[in-house]
Protein backbone atom coordinates (compact mmCIF):
# COMPACT_ATOMS: atom_id res chain seq x y z
CA UNK A 1 0.00 0.00 0.00
CA UNK A 2 2.69 2.49 0.97
CA UNK A 3 4.94 3.96 -1.66
CA UNK A 4 8.45 5.25 -1.25
CA UNK A 5 7.27 8.70 -0.23
CA UNK A 6 5.04 9.25 2.80
CA UNK A 7 3.85 12.70 3.81
CA UNK A 8 5.71 14.03 6.83
CA UNK A 9 2.88 14.31 9.33
CA UNK A 10 2.66 13.60 13.08
CA UNK A 11 0.31 10.71 12.27
CA UNK A 12 2.01 7.77 10.58
CA UNK A 13 0.56 4.92 8.51
CA UNK A 14 -0.21 1.61 10.22
CA UNK A 15 2.24 -1.07 9.09
CA UNK A 16 0.95 -4.34 7.70
CA UNK A 17 0.78 -7.21 10.20
CA UNK A 18 4.00 -9.17 10.59
CA UNK A 19 3.90 -12.75 9.36
CA UNK A 20 6.73 -14.10 11.53
CA UNK A 21 4.31 -15.47 14.16
CA UNK A 22 1.59 -16.67 11.78
CA UNK A 23 1.34 -20.20 13.22
CA UNK A 24 1.25 -18.95 16.80
CA UNK A 25 -1.33 -16.31 15.83
CA UNK A 26 -3.58 -18.95 14.24
CA UNK A 27 -3.42 -20.94 17.48
CA UNK A 28 -4.04 -17.76 19.47
CA UNK A 29 -7.12 -16.99 17.41
CA UNK A 30 -8.69 -20.24 18.61
CA UNK A 31 -7.75 -19.54 22.21
CA UNK A 32 -9.10 -15.98 21.97
CA UNK A 33 -12.58 -17.46 21.54
CA UNK A 34 -12.12 -20.37 23.99
CA UNK A 35 -14.32 -20.14 27.13
CA UNK A 36 -12.10 -22.67 28.92
CA UNK A 37 -9.92 -19.71 29.83
CA UNK A 38 -12.59 -18.51 32.28
CA UNK A 39 -13.49 -19.91 35.67
CA UNK A 40 -17.10 -20.74 34.81
CA UNK A 41 -16.48 -21.78 31.20
CA UNK A 42 -18.80 -19.09 29.86
CA UNK A 43 -16.45 -16.27 28.89
CA UNK A 44 -13.59 -15.86 26.47
CA UNK A 45 -11.45 -12.93 25.39
CA UNK A 46 -13.94 -12.44 22.57
CA UNK A 47 -16.78 -11.94 25.05
CA UNK A 48 -15.55 -8.42 25.77
CA UNK A 49 -13.39 -7.92 22.67
CA UNK A 50 -15.94 -8.79 20.01
CA UNK A 51 -14.09 -8.50 16.70
CA UNK A 52 -17.39 -8.03 14.87
CA UNK A 53 -18.13 -5.07 17.18
CA UNK A 54 -14.82 -3.42 16.38
CA UNK A 55 -12.87 -5.18 19.09
CA UNK A 56 -14.83 -3.97 22.11
CA UNK A 57 -18.25 -4.56 23.68
CA UNK A 58 -19.95 -1.16 23.56
CA UNK A 59 -20.62 -1.18 27.30
CA UNK A 60 -19.72 1.40 29.91
CA UNK A 61 -18.08 -1.39 31.92
CA UNK A 62 -17.40 -4.97 30.84
CA UNK A 63 -19.18 -7.89 32.47
CA UNK A 64 -16.89 -10.34 34.17
CA UNK A 65 -17.61 -13.85 35.42
CA UNK A 66 -20.76 -14.36 37.48
CA UNK A 67 -21.73 -11.00 39.01
CA UNK A 68 -18.40 -9.24 38.83
CA UNK A 69 -17.89 -6.25 36.57
CA UNK A 70 -14.88 -4.46 35.18
CA UNK A 71 -14.26 -0.94 36.43
CA UNK A 72 -13.32 0.75 33.14
CA UNK A 73 -14.66 0.82 29.61
CA UNK A 74 -13.28 -1.97 27.42
CA UNK A 75 -10.83 -0.58 24.86
CA UNK A 76 -10.67 -2.07 21.39
CA UNK A 77 -8.21 -4.90 20.90
CA UNK A 78 -7.56 -3.79 17.33
CA UNK A 79 -4.13 -2.15 17.02
CA UNK A 80 -3.44 -2.88 20.70
CA UNK A 81 -0.03 -4.23 19.76
CA UNK A 82 0.93 -0.72 18.67
CA UNK A 83 0.41 0.68 22.19
CA UNK A 84 3.38 1.14 24.48
CA UNK A 85 1.58 -0.40 27.48
CA UNK A 86 -1.73 -2.16 27.97
CA UNK A 87 -4.72 -1.08 30.04
CA UNK A 88 -5.97 2.42 30.77
CA UNK A 89 -3.57 2.72 33.70
CA UNK A 90 -0.68 0.89 32.05
CA UNK A 91 -1.01 -2.04 34.42
CA UNK A 92 0.49 -4.46 31.87
CA UNK A 93 3.75 -3.69 30.06
CA UNK A 94 3.04 -6.19 27.27
CA UNK A 95 0.17 -7.97 25.56
CA UNK A 96 1.37 -11.21 27.16
CA UNK A 97 1.10 -9.69 30.63
CA UNK A 98 -2.36 -8.34 29.80
CA UNK A 99 -3.57 -11.80 28.78
CA UNK A 100 -2.39 -13.16 32.12
CA UNK A 101 -4.22 -10.43 34.02
CA UNK A 102 -7.42 -11.00 32.04
CA UNK A 103 -7.39 -14.73 32.72
CA UNK A 104 -6.86 -14.42 36.47
CA UNK A 105 -8.63 -11.17 37.38
CA UNK A 106 -11.99 -11.62 39.17
CA UNK A 107 -13.31 -8.65 37.19
CA UNK A 108 -12.74 -10.52 33.92
CA UNK A 109 -12.36 -14.28 33.51
CA UNK A 110 -11.56 -14.99 37.14
CA UNK A 111 -9.77 -18.28 36.58
CA UNK A 112 -6.40 -19.71 37.58
CA UNK A 113 -3.63 -20.96 35.37
CA UNK A 114 -3.76 -24.42 36.93
CA UNK A 115 -7.43 -24.77 35.97
CA UNK A 116 -6.90 -23.35 32.49
CA UNK A 117 -3.93 -25.55 31.67
CA UNK A 118 -5.69 -28.65 33.01
CA UNK A 119 -8.64 -27.97 30.71
CA UNK A 120 -6.54 -27.25 27.64
CA UNK A 121 -4.30 -30.29 28.12
CA UNK A 122 -7.35 -32.54 28.15
CA UNK A 123 -7.86 -31.61 24.48
CA UNK A 124 -5.73 -34.01 22.40
CA UNK A 125 -6.03 -31.98 19.18
CA UNK A 126 -5.04 -28.76 20.94
CA UNK A 127 -2.08 -30.50 22.59
CA UNK A 128 -0.86 -31.70 19.21
CA UNK A 129 -1.18 -28.21 17.76
CA UNK A 130 0.73 -26.67 20.67
CA UNK A 131 3.44 -29.26 20.24
CA UNK A 132 3.69 -28.39 16.53
CA UNK A 133 4.06 -24.68 17.24
CA UNK A 134 5.86 -24.56 20.60
CA UNK A 135 7.33 -28.07 20.95
CA UNK A 136 5.43 -28.61 24.18
CA UNK A 137 1.94 -28.94 25.63
CA UNK A 138 0.08 -25.77 26.69
CA UNK A 139 1.69 -23.76 29.48
CA UNK A 140 0.82 -20.31 30.81
CA UNK A 141 3.72 -18.91 28.81
CA UNK A 142 2.75 -20.52 25.50
CA UNK A 143 -0.94 -19.73 25.91
CA UNK A 144 -0.20 -16.05 26.51
CA UNK A 145 2.34 -16.03 23.67
CA UNK A 146 -0.19 -17.46 21.22
CA UNK A 147 -2.99 -15.07 22.17
CA UNK A 148 -0.62 -12.09 22.11
CA UNK A 149 0.59 -13.12 18.64
CA UNK A 150 -3.01 -13.15 17.44
CA UNK A 151 -3.69 -9.76 19.01
CA UNK A 152 -0.63 -8.31 17.27
CA UNK A 153 -2.15 -9.45 13.99
CA UNK A 154 -5.25 -7.33 14.63
CA UNK A 155 -3.96 -4.23 12.87
CA UNK A 156 -6.13 -2.10 10.59
CA UNK A 157 -3.90 -0.74 7.81
CA UNK A 158 -4.90 0.92 4.53
CA UNK A 159 -7.28 3.51 5.98
CA UNK A 160 -8.24 6.36 3.70
CA UNK A 161 -6.04 8.65 5.78
CA UNK A 162 -3.09 6.27 5.46
CA UNK A 163 -3.59 6.23 1.72
CA UNK A 164 -3.58 10.04 1.76
CA UNK A 165 -0.36 9.96 3.77
CA UNK A 166 1.08 7.71 1.07
CA UNK A 167 0.29 10.32 -1.58
CA UNK A 168 -3.19 9.36 -2.75
CA UNK A 169 -4.66 12.87 -2.78
CA UNK A 170 -8.20 11.76 -3.57
CA UNK A 171 -8.39 9.32 -0.66
CA UNK A 172 -9.90 12.01 1.59
CA UNK A 173 -12.01 14.98 0.60
CA UNK A 174 -11.44 18.64 1.36
CA UNK A 175 -13.87 18.68 4.30
CA UNK A 176 -12.02 15.77 5.91
CA UNK A 177 -8.69 17.44 5.27
CA UNK A 178 -10.02 20.61 6.92
CA UNK A 179 -10.91 18.45 9.93
CA UNK A 180 -7.35 17.17 10.08
CA UNK A 181 -6.00 20.73 9.92
CA UNK A 182 -8.27 21.66 12.84
CA UNK A 183 -7.20 18.52 14.71
CA UNK A 184 -3.65 19.80 14.48
CA UNK A 185 -4.35 23.48 15.10
CA UNK A 186 -6.39 22.85 18.26
CA UNK A 187 -3.54 20.72 19.62
CA UNK A 188 -5.26 17.31 19.62
CA UNK A 189 -2.28 15.91 17.77
CA UNK A 190 0.05 16.67 20.71
CA UNK A 191 -1.29 13.50 22.37
CA UNK A 192 -2.91 11.67 19.47
CA UNK A 193 -0.16 10.98 16.96
CA UNK A 194 1.98 8.17 15.60
CA UNK A 195 0.71 5.10 13.78
CA UNK A 196 -1.95 4.42 16.44
CA UNK A 197 -3.06 8.07 16.73
CA UNK A 198 -2.49 7.66 20.46
CA UNK A 199 -1.43 4.78 22.67
CA UNK A 200 2.18 5.93 22.99
CA UNK A 201 2.08 8.17 26.09
CA UNK A 202 0.20 8.95 29.29
CA UNK A 203 -2.03 11.99 29.72
CA UNK A 204 -3.76 13.52 32.74
CA UNK A 205 -7.56 13.54 32.55
CA UNK A 206 -8.55 17.10 33.39
CA UNK A 207 -5.31 18.86 32.58
CA UNK A 208 -7.05 22.21 32.04
CA UNK A 209 -10.07 21.80 34.29
CA UNK A 210 -11.53 19.58 36.99
CA UNK A 211 -13.15 16.91 34.84
CA UNK A 212 -14.10 14.70 37.78
CA UNK A 213 -15.76 17.47 39.81
CA UNK A 214 -17.79 18.56 36.81
CA UNK A 215 -18.68 14.99 35.89
CA UNK A 216 -20.05 14.43 39.37
CA UNK A 217 -20.44 11.20 41.24
CA UNK A 218 -17.97 9.33 43.41
CA UNK A 219 -14.33 9.24 42.38
CA UNK A 220 -13.59 5.54 42.12
CA UNK A 221 -10.23 3.76 42.22
CA UNK A 222 -10.51 3.43 38.45
CA UNK A 223 -10.66 7.23 38.19
CA UNK A 224 -7.25 7.48 39.85
CA UNK A 225 -5.58 6.05 36.76
CA UNK A 226 -1.92 5.18 37.00
CA UNK A 227 -1.89 6.16 40.70
CA UNK A 228 -3.44 2.77 41.48
CA UNK A 229 -0.30 1.14 40.07
CA UNK A 230 2.48 3.40 41.35
CA UNK A 231 0.96 5.15 44.38
CA UNK A 232 2.67 8.36 43.25
CA UNK A 233 0.68 11.59 43.58
CA UNK A 234 1.96 12.79 40.21
CA UNK A 235 0.26 9.79 38.61
CA UNK A 236 -3.20 10.63 39.93
CA UNK A 237 -5.75 10.71 37.05
CA UNK A 238 -3.00 9.76 34.58
CA UNK A 239 -4.16 7.42 31.81
CA UNK A 240 -2.76 5.92 28.66
CA UNK A 241 -3.86 8.13 25.79
CA UNK A 242 -6.26 5.95 23.77
CA UNK A 243 -5.88 5.25 20.08
CA UNK A 244 -8.30 7.10 17.82
CA UNK A 245 -7.99 4.65 14.95
CA UNK A 246 -11.45 3.18 15.56
CA UNK A 247 -12.87 5.98 17.70
CA UNK A 248 -15.83 6.54 15.40
CA UNK A 249 -16.84 2.89 15.93
CA UNK A 250 -16.36 2.57 19.68
CA UNK A 251 -18.66 4.62 21.89
CA UNK A 252 -19.00 5.26 24.77
CA UNK A 253 -15.85 7.26 25.40
CA UNK A 254 -13.16 7.69 28.07
CA UNK A 255 -12.11 5.28 30.79
CA UNK A 256 -15.43 5.76 32.59
CA UNK A 257 -17.60 5.40 29.49
CA UNK A 258 -19.32 8.62 30.53
CA UNK A 259 -19.73 10.19 27.10
CA UNK A 260 -22.05 8.63 24.56
CA UNK A 261 -21.25 10.52 21.37
CA UNK A 262 -18.04 11.32 19.55
CA UNK A 263 -19.09 14.94 19.14
CA UNK A 264 -19.44 15.37 22.88
CA UNK A 265 -16.13 13.56 23.47
CA UNK A 266 -14.42 16.10 21.20
CA UNK A 267 -15.97 18.96 23.19
CA UNK A 268 -14.89 17.40 26.49
CA UNK A 269 -11.33 16.93 25.25
CA UNK A 270 -11.15 20.51 23.97
CA UNK A 271 -12.35 21.87 27.30
CA UNK A 272 -10.51 19.70 29.82
CA UNK A 273 -7.34 18.81 27.94
CA UNK A 274 -6.76 21.91 25.81
CA UNK A 275 -8.60 24.60 27.78
CA UNK A 276 -10.48 25.69 24.67
CA UNK A 277 -14.06 25.94 23.54
CA UNK A 278 -14.87 24.54 20.14
CA UNK A 279 -17.65 25.41 17.72
CA UNK A 280 -20.17 22.88 16.43
CA UNK A 281 -18.78 23.44 12.93
CA UNK A 282 -15.28 22.53 14.03
CA UNK A 283 -16.53 19.52 16.01
CA UNK A 284 -18.27 18.22 12.88
CA UNK A 285 -15.14 18.78 10.80
CA UNK A 286 -12.93 16.86 13.25
CA UNK A 287 -15.49 14.05 13.31
CA UNK A 288 -15.27 13.86 9.53
CA UNK A 289 -11.49 13.56 9.76
CA UNK A 290 -11.73 10.78 12.36
CA UNK A 291 -13.84 8.68 9.98
CA UNK A 292 -10.84 8.50 7.65
CA UNK A 293 -8.71 6.68 10.25
CA UNK A 294 -10.68 3.41 10.09
CA UNK A 295 -8.60 0.85 8.23
CA UNK A 296 -9.08 -2.73 7.09
CA UNK A 297 -9.03 -6.16 8.70
CA UNK A 298 -10.89 -9.32 7.59
CA UNK A 299 -12.73 -9.51 10.93
CA UNK A 300 -13.56 -5.81 11.08
CA UNK A 301 -17.11 -5.12 9.88
CA UNK A 302 -17.56 -2.21 7.42
Annotated binding-site positions for heme c: 45, 48-49, 188, 191-192, 269
Q: How far is the C-alpha of 161 from the C-alpha of 44, rounded, in Å?
A: 33
152 and 144 Cβ atoms separated by less than 8 Å: no
Q: How far is the C-alpha of 300 from the C-alpha of 53, rounded, in Å?
A: 8
Q: Please enumerate, by residue number, every residue annotated as part of a binding site.
A: 45, 48-49, 188, 191-192, 269
Q: How far is the C-alpha of 275 from the C-alpha of 262, rounded, in Å?
A: 18
Q: CB neighbours of 125 closer than 8 A, spacing ≥ 6?
A: none
Q: How far is the C-alpha of 57 from the C-alpha of 76, rounded, in Å?
A: 8
Q: How far is the C-alpha of 17 from the C-alpha of 38, rounded, in Å?
A: 28
How far separated are the first and last CA of the chain, in Å rounded?
19
146 and 31 Cβ atoms separated by less than 8 Å: yes
Burial of 165 (0-12, 13-18, 19+ CB in 10 A): buried
Amino acid sequence: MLGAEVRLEPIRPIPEAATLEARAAALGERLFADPRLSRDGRMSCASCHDLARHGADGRTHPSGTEVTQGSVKTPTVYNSGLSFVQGWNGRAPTLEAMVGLAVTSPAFMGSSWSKVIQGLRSDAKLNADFDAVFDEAPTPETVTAAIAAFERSLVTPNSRFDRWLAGEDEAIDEAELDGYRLFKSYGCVSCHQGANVGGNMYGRMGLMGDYFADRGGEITPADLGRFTITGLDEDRHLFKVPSLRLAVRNPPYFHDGSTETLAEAIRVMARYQLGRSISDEHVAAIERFLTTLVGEHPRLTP
